[in-house]
Each structure stands twice: as C-alpha cells, then as structure tokens.
Amino acid sequence: MSQKLIDQLSVHEGVKRFAYKCPAGKWTIGVGRNIDEDGGIGLSDGEVYSLLKNDVARVDQELDDAFGWYMDLDQVRKDALCNLSFNLGMPRLMKFQKALGHLAADRYKESAEEFLDSLWATQVGQRALDVAHMVEFGEYPDEGR
C-alpha cells in the first residue's frame, strides 16, 4: 500500500470524523468506511478497542485537568471516576458536587452514597452499584467476593 493511494482515497472519498449517509444511503465514517448494519463491514474488534483506549485516555486527561486531586487517587477510584465521566460526560459529572467533594476529601463512603442517591443511579442500575463499590472500597466489585 502506498502513501499516494492513501492520499488519493482521502481526496476521492473525503475524510469524515462523524458518521454520515453516503450517496447510496449507507452509514459511513472516516474515509469511505461503510459501517451500515445492512451490508457494511463495521469495525473490527481491534478497531473498537483502539477507539475505547483512546477515549479512556482522553477522559483520564480531562479528569486530571479538572481536578487537582484526581492523580492522588488510587487506580481503582480513578477508574471509577473515569467510568462515571465516560458515561455522563464532564458537564454532567461536574453536577455531582457533593459526591466529588467527598471524594476529594477521602470520604469514600459518603461519596459513594451521594453517587447512589441520584437519577443517574436509577437509570444505570448495576453500573452505579459497581462504581459506588469502587469509590467506597477502592476495589473492583468482583475482587471482594
């Protein structure tokens, strides 16, 4: 494969960072990648997890930028906050002021209780229980069983 081919395909197909419908009506992304459920190739497992790893790294950096105390957390609690931010996005996560305040002050039980006492917790069910466990105990739920 040559760089000239890559450059030419980029010009001919266009480079799109967001999904769009091609002239044939198929969902497409990138440089002509047909991801439509009807006849598309979608993403490989490697591509899916490459995107996920990039997204987790981005969320981790956003959290570090937003909270001076974030890097002082143990890895499991950092993971819990990443999970929350990944799910909610930073603007919605920032609304959990009491829970975040408790977390910053190492009051993990209180932080977990605040996260569980929310609409988010009722919407996501087991995910909220898992994340709250991680916040309170500093371990993944399956590690303590």
pLDDT in tens, 84-135: 999 999 999 999 999 999 999 999 999 999 999 999 999 999 999 999 999 9
93 and 27 housed in the same domain = no
Residue 111 lies in a domain: yes
Nearest to 19, CA basis, from 10, 29, 33: 29
29 and 57 housed in the same domain = no
In the prediction, which pLDDT does 142 show?
86
Query: What is the C-alpha separation between 118 and 123, in angstroms, rounded?
Result: 9
- Which pTM does this prediction carry? 0.86
User: Domain span at residue 124?
Assistant: 52-143
pLDDT in tens, 45-94: 999 999 999 999 999 999 999 999 999 999 999 999 999 999 999 999 99
61 and 29 housed in the same domain = no
59 and 30 housed in the same domain = no
Q: How many domains does the chain divide into?
A: 2
Residue 45 lies in a domain: no
Residue 41 lies in a domain: no
19 and 78 housed in the same domain = no
In the prediction, which pLDDT does 40 show?
95
Please enumerate in sequence order all residues whose Cβ is within 8 A of that of 130, keeping only pairs 6 or more positions apart, or say none: 83, 140, 141
Q: What is the side-by-side order of every strand in the sheet holding 16-21?
A: 16-21, 27-30, 33-34
29 and 64 housed in the same domain = no
Is the pLDDT score of 44 beyond 80? Answer: yes
In the prediction, which pLDDT does 1 show?
83
In the prediction, which pLDDT does 144 show?
52
Residue 108 lies in a domain: yes
Please enumerate in sequence order all residues whose Cβ is within 8 A of that of 102, keeping only pairs 6 or more positions apart, or say none: 108, 110, 111, 114
97 and 56 housed in the same domain = yes
pLDDT in tens, 14-38: 999 999 999 999 999 999 999 999 9
16 and 64 housed in the same domain = no
